[in-house]
Structure 1
Amino acid sequence: MPHFPVNHPARPLYRALSGLVGLYILIFGVWGVAKTWGDPLFDRGNDWALGLRTNPAFSLASVLFGIVLLIGASRRSNLGHYMNLTAGVVFLVTAVLMMSVLQTDANFLNFSMSTVVVSMIFGLLLLATGLYDKVGPPGHAEAERRGRNHLITGSR
């Protein structure tokens, strides 16, 4: 059974970090939509936004993902926890898949190696924030804290 810390003291920091990732993705997407406006949806051109190669499909997906991440970061419930875990996995899987087709016609999102690296970094950041931003009732968090202290002192 996985263990997720409940009401971690640094939770606001993790939420802010996931919000910054979401904001970057949203700005990248909006900038990319503006730069690629009028191009075919899955264009393999040489359009760049904020240091990452893009096309209209990738830019539109980034706008949607950025909005979703900002909504998740703004919620004080476990919605953000689950959204960050899911988004982290999605970013990591997408990065690996797009890296495997980087030099082929299957690169429909027009990824470059820098886009793969940034996607992996964002995936790891979102996965880490998702691991530490779980919310629970104060009693549950206190019981978990006591259990951790008991395991630490009992193992000596």
Structure 2
Amino acid sequence: MKLHDEFPTDHKLAQVYRWGAALCGLVLLLFGCLGFADQLSPFNTHGSHIAGMSTNGVLSLLSVIFGLVLIAGAIVGGNVASTVNMSVGALFLLSGFAHVFILDKPANFLGFGMTNVVFSFLMGLVILTFGMYGRVTSRLPHDNPYWRRRHPRQAAREAAARRAALRAPASLPGTGSNTGRAR
């Protein structure tokens, strides 16, 4: 089974994943392109400042790459966009944690400053939230594909009950089983 087979193509959650990925991807793409426009040196550990954050050529390149990955996920949509959002969001959070410990050290080859760390945490949480929306909660509606995936037996019983209800003839009030027969 492919990832997107369980997800109806017109499901409302697909739009959340798509728009979230596209929005965050555009922000990262813009930041990376502004870094390239300033012709930054690739490994400058002090970095130039763009949009209040320090950056260098490598960080600009990574921003463009992750921006394009998020935009590609938005184009594909569905579960792919959700999974891409969750993966990229987790990477941003890990990057924030890692860079807290290497600020002002030679290992800080991306030229991160404290504003970059805060941005990494915030962007990671936003992207992760877009990816997890409708997938992770204790009260998913029963028509949600992720609820059906987690509760296959109950979902099968409910689907069988719906099919049985559709097959049962609808009786109108005032008519009996002998409709059409004259007495």
Give distance in 2, aligned partners of 1:68 and 1:81. 12
| Equivalent residues, number | 139
Q: Report the TM-score, using the length of structure 1 for normalisation.
A: 0.76
Give distance in 1, aligned partners of 2:146 and 2:107. 50
1:34 counterpart residue number: 37
Shift of residue 32, structure 1, vs aligned partner: 0.5
Counterpart residue identity of residue 19, structure 1:
A
Q: Per the alignment, in what secondary structure is the counterpart of residue 42 of structure 1? A: coil
- Per-residue CA deviation, residues 20-54 of structure 1 (Å, 9 max, x unaligned), is 111010010011012134x2x21123411222110
- Give structure 1 stretches of 5+ with no counterpart: 1-5, 149-156
Q: Per the alignment, in what secondary structure is the counterpart of residue 36 of structure 1? A: coil
2:145 counterpart residue number: 141
Name which one, 1 or 2, has greater alpha-carbon Rg. Answer: 2
Contact 1:73 1:80 in 2 (8 A): yes
C-alpha change, 1:65 and 1:133, in structure 2 (3 Å) is farther
| Pairwise CA RMSD | 3.0
2:101 counterpart residue number: 100
C-alpha change, 1:45 and 1:104, in structure 2 (3 Å) is closer
Bigger relative contact order, structure 1 or 2 (CA pairs below 8 A, ≥6 apart): 1
Identity %: 33
The farther-off stretch of 43-52 and 101-110 is 43-52
**Residues 1-156 of structure 1: pairs in structure 2 closer than 5 A:** 9-37=12-40, 39=41, 41-132=42-133, 141=145, 144=148
C-alpha change, 1:80 and 1:103, in structure 2 (3 Å) is same
Shift of residue 9, structure 1, vs aligned partner: 3.6
Give distance in 1, aligned partners of 2:90 and 2:69. 15
Q: Report the TM-score, using the length of structure 2 for normalisation.
A: 0.65
